[in-house]
Amino acid sequence: MDMDPDASESDARGPSLGRNMAATVVLTGLAILAAAPFAPADALDDARARGTLRYGGDMEGGAPYAFPDPDAPRAVTGFEVEIMDRLARGLGEDVRAEFSQGQWDKLLWVLDSGRFDVVVNGYEWTPGRAEDYLATRPYYIYQLQLMGPKGSPVRSWDDLKRPRPDGSPWTVAVLTASAADDFARGRDAGAIRVVRFDGATDAMLAVQNGQYDFTLQDVPAASYYAGAFPGLGPVGPPVSRGYYVIYARRSDTALRDALDAGIGRMAASGELRRILEKYGIWNDLQNELATSFEGPIATPSSSRGARGWRLVLHYGDRLRAATLVTLGLSFGSMPLAMAIGLAVALGRLHGPAPLRPLLAAYVELIRGTPLMLQLYVLFFLLKLDPWVAGIAGLAINYSAYEAEIYRAGLQAVPRGQMEAALALGMSRWQALRRVIVPQAVRIVIPPVANDFIALFKDTSVCSVVTLVELTKEYSILANGTRDVVEFAAAAAAIYLAMSLPLSWFARWSERRLGAEGAKGGLA
């Protein structure tokens, strides 16, 4: 990096001083650059200057933590929202708390990026997180509650030590990367299979639907949503125990200390209790909030083993398994999508007249609605198996795009080809099969290959139906280890390694079939 020319030339006070000045400027600049992803000074000063304390959370299935206010749907409410309102005011007369939406399992990464100042969303205190971020004292002591269908013969965790009567493991639905996820995975792996969801309420819905046996939820969510899922009831007493804390960036000690002291004041004054009672989540355990904590929970000395690339290698088997899921979804769905798409295109161009508007409507409906919602329908309404829902959803979604590509391809075959076939006495169907479609296929190779590569990456949406494909596994591992960059690079490299051969294959077949002449006649 070059020195600032102005600094080195404004040299009235002598060469050596000038040079020192310049060096200082450069060093300061470097320091600012290095710290740029974080706040330049402590975020507490910023929040006071700005008049807002920005905190990250996820409103999806977010009650009673932070969720859309039923009385004012554009506003957010919840016990965390009320706690943050009080804490912000404790930072200064004019400071207001401002909720910022993010996907739950990515909130800490967004915190790193500086989009908000703290994360407050039922985030448990863990030694790993405490190593990378600053945590306050707890504002809630949570437990985990197993929920299952009312009237289930299973009464306690002990009943789950043995597999189901048919020998298969019990399925336990959890929110990805939550404390429940960790806890359930720590149980006997032979008798329990953990199924991961992107939202807490999705997991409850799937259990109420009968698609899975149980769901493990934090007590606040379990008690708040009991009314929304009348088919579910508690199984055994709450288990485990942990602390919801506020996380701040490592550089923001002053902000963390101010919030920590604020929680202490709210706990001592009974204000915290009033808020928790309002949301029906106060219990005797919470008395410890005022009595047992004098400050932030102590950070343990580093316990971490392997980090970075060695950790990626360590988890190689899991990445490989997730890659196979991605491949399975892609290669299972794309041939179906191409077949359905071709059928739809042929029907629109050559089918019976009454069928044509229906097929056009199919294309518009499927193409105009999100893949994720289609997967929801297949999985939660039709209650299909995750693999069936995933492959069918991708196949149907992409069939609409393929249909349009094929329609363009079919129309690009000169009309004389069909006329020549008919003039030879071939039926319309024979003409399509022998003459038109083979030429259309050659024309559409590049766009279809393009779509296939896009589909590779769209398989990641299938995490909403609990399939742990590559993106989901990356997210789980990056969350668990917080070695985000390495795992992101590894996942990207794997995606590239899958899509590049596809590109080569497409180019090769284009060349090969191109030599046979996709265009001819009057050329």
Partner 1 sequence: MIEVDGLVKRFGAVEVLRGVDLSVGRGEVACLIGPSGSGKSTFLRCLNGLERFQEGRVTIGDVALDAGQSDRDHARAARRICRRAGMVFQGFNLFAHETALQNVIEAPMRVLGMSRDEAVERARGFLARVGMLHRLDARPRELSGGQQQRVAIARALAMGPEVVLFDEPTSALDPRATGEVLSVMTDLARDGQTMIVVTHAMGFARKAATVVHVFGDGAIVESGDPDRVFEAPAHEATRSLLSEVQAA
Whichever of 337 and 413 has its CB closer to partner 1, that residue is 413
- The stretch among 148-156, 188-196, 413-421, 487-495 that binds partner 1 (CB under 8 A) is 413-421
Residue 351 C-beta: closest distance to partner 1, Å: 14
Q: Is residue 520 involved in binding partner 1 (CB under 8 A)?
A: yes
Q: Name the β-bridge partners of 99.
A: 55
What's the rounded Cα separation, in Å, for the pair 435 and 453? 28
Closest CA relative to residue 463, chosen from 143, 115, 188, 202: 202
Closest distance of CB 507 from partner 1, Å: 19
In angstroms, give the least distance from the CB of 404 to partner 1: 22
Give the nearest distance from C-beta 354 to partner 1 in angstroms: 14
Task: Mark 48-79 as b/e (b = at least 16 C-beta within 10 Å).
Answer: beeebbbbbbbbebbbbbbbbeeeeeeebbbb
| Residue 523 beta carbon to partner 1: minimum distance, rounded to whole angstroms | 6
Length of the chain: 523
DSSP H helices in 211-307:
219-224, 253-269, 271-278, 288-291
> Judged by CB, which is closer to partner 1: 164, or 428?
428
Site string for partner 1, 261-300 (x = CB under 8 A): ----------------------------------------
Does residue 12 touch partner 1 according to CB under 8 A?
Answer: no
**CA 238, CA 157: separation in Å to the nearest integer?**
10
Work out how close the CB of 511 gets to partner 1 at its nearest, in angstroms, rounded to a whole number. 14
420-479 binders of partner 1 (CB under 8 A) = 420-428, 430, 434-435, 438-439, 442
Helix (H, G, I), strand (E, B) or coil at 20: helix
Span near partner 1 by CB under 8 A; candidates 1-9, 243-251, 328-336, 411-419: 411-419
Would you give the DSSP letter of residue 461?
G
Q: Which is nearer to partner 1, 250 or 519 (CB)?
A: 519
Nearer to partner 1, 7 or 412 (CB): 412
The DSSP bridge pattern shows strands 72-77 and 67-69 to be: antiparallel
Phi, psi of 266 (to 5 degrees): -65, -35
| CA 28 – CA 462 distance, rounded (Å) | 47
Stretch that binds partner 1, among 142-150, 192-200, 389-397, 410-418 (CB under 8 A): 410-418
**Of 253, 299, 417, 509, which lies in the binding site for partner 1, with binding defined by CB under 8 A?**
417
Q: Rounded to the nearest whole angstrom, what is the least distance from the CB of residue 345 to partner 1 in the complex?
A: 18
- Distance of alpha carbon 176 from its chain centroid, rounded? 9
- The contact mask relative to partner 1 for 479-518 (x = CB under 8 A, - = no) is ----------------------------------x--xxx
The C-alpha atoms of residue 101 and residue 26 are separated, in whole angstroms, by: 37
What are 248's strand-pairing partners? 118, 134
Per-residue binding string, partner 1, 356-395, x by CB under 8 A, is: ----------------------------------------
- Please tell me the distance from the alpha carbon of residue 158 to that of residue 156, in angstroms, as a whole number: 5
User: Angle 437-458/386-412 helices, nearest 10 degrees?
Assistant: 140
Q: Which of residues 184-203 bind partner 1 (CB under 8 A)?
A: none
Rounded to an integer, what is the distance from CA 275 to the centroid of its chain? 30
For β-strands 192-197 and 170-175, DSSP reports them as parallel
In whole angstroms, give the CA distance from residue 35 to residue 325: 39
| Among 276, 352, 14, 298, residue whose Cα is nearest residue 137 | 298
416 lies in the site for partner 1, by CB under 8 A? yes
CB 119, min distance to partner 1, A: 60
For partner 1, which is the closer residue by CB, 169 or 438?
A: 438
Say whether residue 307 binds partner 1 (CB under 8 A): no
* Site size toward partner 1, by CB under 8 A: 28
Which residue, 74 or 415, has its beta carbon nearer to partner 1? Answer: 415
Where along the sequence are the contacts to partner 1 (CB under 8 A)?
414, 416-417, 419-428, 430, 434-435, 438-439, 442, 513, 516-523
